[in-house]
Amino acid sequence: MDEVLQGLGLARRVEEGKVSQVWEEAVGKKIAAHARPTKMQDGKLSVEVDNTTWVQQLTFLKKRIIDEINKQTGKEIVREITFKIGKVGRTLKKKPKEPGMELDRIKLNEQRLRQVEENVKHIRDPETKDVLRRFLTMEAKFIQAKATTGGEPRPFGRGEGRRGRTKV
């Protein structure tokens, strides 16, 4: 069988396909839940991960991951790994919303929107900027909802300014 595959030029492809088969065992269940191999070509493995935190963490573990995959497959199949953000395939359970708080329906005024943009304008990484923008927007909506329902507006997270005022 190996000779037939070799003759057809498919032996290397079959070996590369083994990477997906050994992935979870090579990296462990925790990493496999946040990262998955998507493409393998000429010794270069592409892996999609949940977010930038996992990209950074796995970058530090790159050499160990390569060594473990090659150990599991019994051959030096992987020489290089690249990580990129993508959909890994697991879904997160949404936390129940606080009763009476429909934050998605709340519209912020222009001043609050400008404050959010002012807080994120110096962030270079687009993904980090987007995550922070969404967080600050939801925080502003939360504060606005609390204020309009007669509750004490209080931020969740790190929204306090230097003088104790909310920056959003």
Predicted confidence (pLDDT) per residue in 73-98, tens digit: 888 989 999 999 988 864 334 445 45
Report the half-sphere exposure of 47 (CA within 13 A, side-chain side). 33
Are residues 81 and 97 both part of a single domain? no
Q: What is d(CA 137, CA 34) in angstroms, rounded to the nearest whole number?
A: 26
Cβ contacts of residue 15 below 8 Å, gap of 6+? 73, 75, 77
Are residues 102 and 67 both part of a single domain? no
Cβ contacts of residue 147 below 8 Å, gap of 6+? 153
Are residues 75 and 98 both part of a single domain? no
Which of these three, 85, 113, 142, is where a domain ends? 85
Q: Are 116 and 155 in contact (CB under 8 A)?
A: no
Q: How confident is the model over 93-150, as pLDDT tens digits?
A: 444 545 455 777 788 888 888 988 988 888 887 877 777 788 888 888 877 777 776 6
Are residues 67 and 112 both part of a single domain? no
Does the pTM surpass 0.75? The reply is no
Are residues 126 and 105 both part of a single domain? yes
Comparing CA positions, the residue from 38, 48, 138 lying closest to residue 97 is 138
Comparing CA positions, the residue from 58, 35, 56 lying closest to residue 47 is 35
Are residues 104 and 78 both part of a single domain? no
- In residues, how long is the chain? 168
Look up the domain containing 128 and give its range.
93-168
